[in-house]
């Protein structure tokens, strides 16, 4: 398991480079952790920084390699810029255009496209790093990255010390593994029905690759890397699982705009939608929801807002 000591060490290491994101109250007993206000627009900067700051100068000088559907790549680019280093970001061919445009603004990274979905891109990028002797920064399949994501849990626990449950969207499982290791409460994993790789892997007891369908939650989409350490973390640490439809995700994004004047991306909408779907179970209990990011394309947001219900 990821130790609390490693998460505390990560918090100390990355503190000069990140923001302590605020918590906003929603209803009487629901608290929103606003990580869409984090540097790079999502929680991903935490794990990226912890991993990069843990590298030796020689390793960093060789240039890091990573794979991403967008948010992790942007976080790695931001972290590398903070320490004056360079790297290569591999993206699947279908990466969201808005996230690709954001990455093109960085002069310290090289962009390359490989694979039709995140899992294939990760496999290719890792093979390049191994062949060229360069450090690979996994989006989730690395203990140092997970410890960095766990710093969100440390912050949330300090800001809301009496939470009974926390809702977290799950892709590869790095965020929820870190948060669960840092917080002593009921952990609810949340998935879009259209992309359930970790959920089905947990059920099967091994990494499987169920069919993927398009989802607003592009940040959690894609298969899980074979041998991912997060599988056992998720099986051990997640107490409940909720799957939500694309309609429910869109409704959650509209809810955040209308009720909180906040723009969140699809993955954050998954966690909000999962709570709204199961709210009756948590009546009278104090609940936290991780708003994991806000990197949503303008056209996507416009379409969601303008949909008539």
Exposure of 104 by Cβ count < 10 A (0-12 exposed, 13-18 middle, 19+ buried)? exposed
Lowest mean pLDDT among 60-64, 116-120, 143-147, 171-175: 116-120
Q: Is the pLDDT of residue 28 over 90?
A: no
Q: The whole model's pTM is what?
A: 0.94
Specify whether the CB–CB gap between 144 and 51 falls below 8 A.
yes
Lowest mean pLDDT among 34-43, 189-198, 234-243, 299-308: 299-308
Q: Is the pLDDT of residue 147 over 90?
A: yes
The yes-or-no answer to whether 4-42+142-306 and 45-137 have a common fold is yes
Residue 117 is predicted with a pLDDT of 86
53-79 per-position pLDDT tens digit: 999 999 999 999 999 988 999 999 999
22 phi and psi, to 5 degrees? -75, 165
For residue 285, what are the contacts with CB-CB under 8 A and spacing of at least 6? 29, 164, 165
Q: CA-based Rg of the chain, rounded to a whole angstrom?
A: 18
Residue 3 is predicted with a pLDDT of 96
Residue 69 is predicted with a pLDDT of 84
Tell me whether strands 30-34 and 64-67 are parallel, antiparallel or unpaired.
unpaired
Specify whether the CB–CB gap between 257 and 263 falls below 8 A.
yes
Q: Is the pLDDT of residue 250 over 90?
A: yes
Specify whether the CB–CB gap between 70 and 46 falls below 8 A.
no
Q: Is the pLDDT of residue 176 over 80?
A: yes
Q: Is the pLDDT of residue 1 over 90?
A: no
**Token pair in block for residue 217:** 């939650």
Give me the half-sphere count of Cα atoms (radius 13 Å) on the Cβ side of residue 222.
Answer: 30
Give me the sheet containing 87-91, strands edge to edge. 109-113, 87-91, 64-67, 136-137
80-102 per-position pLDDT tens digit: 999 999 999 999 998 888 899 99
Q: Is the pLDDT of residue 118 over 90?
A: no
**Token pair in block for residue 207:** 């990494």
The pLDDT mean for the chain works out to 95
- In the chain, beta strands by DSSP E: 23-26, 30-34, 64-67, 87-91, 109-113, 136-137, 165-169, 186-192, 240-244, 287-291
Give me the half-sphere count of Cα atoms (radius 13 Å) on the Cβ side of residue 58.
Answer: 1
Residue 119 is predicted with a pLDDT of 86
Specify whether the CB–CB gap between 294 and 41 falls below 8 A.
yes
Q: Is the pLDDT of residue 309 over 60?
A: no
In which residue are the tokens 């059920």 written?
203
**Token pair in block for residue 203:** 């059920």
255-265 per-position pLDDT tens digit: 999 999 999 99
Residue 220 is predicted with a pLDDT of 95
* Section 99-123 average pLDDT: 91
Dihedral angle at the C-alpha atoms of 85, 120, 228, 157, nearest 10 degrees? Answer: 60
Residue 154 is predicted with a pLDDT of 98
Q: Which CATH architecture has domain 45-137?
A: 3-Layer(aba) Sandwich (3.40)
Q: What angle do CA 96, 253, 184 make, to 5 degrees?
A: 100
C-alpha–C-alpha distance, residues 150 and 147, integer Å: 5
Element (H, E) at 10: helix 4-14
Instruction: Give 4-42+142-306's CATH code, choosing from 3.50.30.30, 3.60.15.10, 3.30.1490.20, 3.40.50.1100.
Output: 3.40.50.1100
273-301 per-position pLDDT tens digit: 999 999 999 999 999 999 999 999 999 99
Q: Where are the domains of the chain?
A: 4-42+142-306, 45-137
Residue 308 is predicted with a pLDDT of 62
């Amino acid at each position: 398991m990821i130790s609390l000591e490693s998460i505390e060490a990560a918090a100390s290491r990355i503190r000069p480079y990140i923001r302590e994101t605020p918590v906003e109250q929603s209803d009487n007993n629901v608290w929103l952790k606003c990580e869409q206000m984090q540097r790079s627009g999502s929680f991903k900067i935490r794990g990226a920084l912890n991993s990069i700051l843990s590298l030796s100068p020689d390793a960093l000088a060789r240039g890091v390699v990573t794979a991403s559907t967008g948010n992790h790549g942007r976080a790695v680019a931001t972290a590398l810029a903070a320490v004056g280093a360079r790297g290569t970001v591999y993206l699947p061919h279908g990466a969201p255009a808005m996230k690709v445009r954001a990455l093109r603004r960085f002069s310290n990274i090289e962009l390359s496209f490989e694979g039709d979905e995140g899992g294939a891109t990760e496999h290719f990028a890792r093979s390049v790093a191994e062949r060229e002797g360069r450090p690979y920064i996994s989006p989730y399949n690395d203990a140092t990255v997970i410890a960095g994501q766990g710093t969100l849990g440390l912050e949330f626990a300090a800001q809301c010390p009496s939470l009974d449950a926390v809702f977290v969207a799950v892709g590869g499982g790095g965020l929820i593994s870190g948060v669960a290791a840092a917080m002593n409460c009921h952990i609810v994993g949340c998935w879009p029905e259209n992309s359930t790789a970790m959920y089905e892997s947990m059920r099967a007891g091994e990494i499987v690759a169920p069919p993927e369908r398009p989802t607003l939650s592009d940040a959690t989409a894609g298969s899980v890397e074979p041998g991912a350490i997060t599988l056992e973390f998720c099986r051990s640490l997640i107490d409940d699982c909720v799957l939500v439809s694309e309609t429910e995700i869109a409704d959650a994004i509209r809810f955040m705009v209308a009720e909180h004047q906040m723009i969140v991306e699809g993955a954050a909408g998954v966690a909000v939608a999962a709570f709204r779907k199961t709210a009756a179970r948590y009546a009278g209990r104090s609940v936290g929801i991780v708003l994991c990011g806000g990197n949503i394309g303008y056209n996507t947001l416009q379409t969601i807002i303008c949909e008539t219900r």
